[in-house]
Amino acid sequence: MVSRGLLWFFTKRTATGALIGLTISDRYASIVTVHGHSMKPTLNPGSKAFPISISGDLVLVEKLCLNKYKFSHGDVVVCGNPNNHKQSLIKRIIALPGDWIRIPETYKIVKVPEGHCWVEGDNYNSSTDSRSFGPIPLGLVKGRATHVIWPPQRIHKLDRRMPTGRISLI
């Protein structure tokens, strides 16, 4: 039989730990599972790894960049889908506010408005991104993905990469 004092002790510890964990995941960092093929080969969905099976890479998402929207060209970010507020996307920032971006298949050149960014997936043929829905508000960005942390054989830091010839100097 468990005494009331012991039960109260564990309840307080659990509640305290949950509040600390929630604060950390809300303000500093969180872990996100990658779904879909839009970021292959940088991020892989459907990886099967022992001892547990997860439906994709797990990435560490830091949120300190949100304080003053400190993003750079080539950052991998988690953002809300502008067409479906319940869905999150993981994409690479190609252009920042004020940049002119070339859209290859249409040969259009678009200026990214203030307060917005242009995001695209690394797997160009299998990505629904800014080419479909246009620039997204920086307010939809939920954090910057910095590392793949699972599966163990794929642990690495995510590099900033930019496709060549996309930013125009008009």
| Within-domain flag for 47 | yes
As for how many domains the chain has, the answer is: 1
Q: Are 57 and 45 in contact (CB under 8 A)?
A: yes
- Residue 130's SS3 state is helix
For residue 159, give Cα distances in angstroms to 9, 66, 69, 111, 145.
45, 19, 19, 25, 10
Task: Please report the pLDDT score of residue 23 as a whole number.
Answer: 65
| Within-domain flag for 150 | yes
Active site residue 108: no
Closest CA to 59 of 35, 38, 80: 35
Task: Please report the pLDDT score of residue 46 as a whole number.
Answer: 60
| Residue 31 scores a pLDDT above 90 | no
| Within-domain flag for 15 | no
| Within-domain flag for 72 | yes
84 alpha carbon, distance to own chain's centre: 16
pLDDT per residue as tens digits for the range 118-162: 999 999 888 999 999 999 999 999 999 999 998 888 889 999 988
- The arithmetic mean of pLDDT across residues 56-82, rounded, is 88
Strand pairing of 116-120 and 136-137? antiparallel
Active site residue 38: yes
In whole numbers, what is the pLDDT of the chain averaged over residues? 84
| Within-domain flag for 22 | no
Residue holding tokens 């994409």? Answer: 91
Task: Please report the pLDDT score of residue 45 as a whole number.
Answer: 66
| Within-domain flag for 68 | yes
Domain hosting 63: range is 30-168
**For the range 62-70, what are the long-range contacts, defined as Cβ-Cβ under 8 Å and sequence gap of 24 or more?**
62/28, 62/29, 62/143, 62/144, 62/146, 63/26, 63/27, 63/28, 63/29, 63/30, 63/142, 63/143, 63/144, 64/28, 65/143, 65/144, 66/141, 66/142, 66/143, 69/138, 69/141
Task: Please report the pLDDT score of residue 50 as a whole number.
Answer: 43
Task: Please report the pLDDT score of residue 61 as a whole number.
Answer: 93
- Band the pLDDT of 47: cuts 50, 70, 90: very low
Catalytic residue among 12, 25, 30, 38: 38
Tokens of 53: 């099976």
Asked which of 21-30, 72-81, 90-99, 106-115 is least confident by mean pLDDT, the reply is: 21-30
Catalytic residue among 91, 127, 130, 142: 91
Percentage of the chain surpassing pLDDT 70? 86
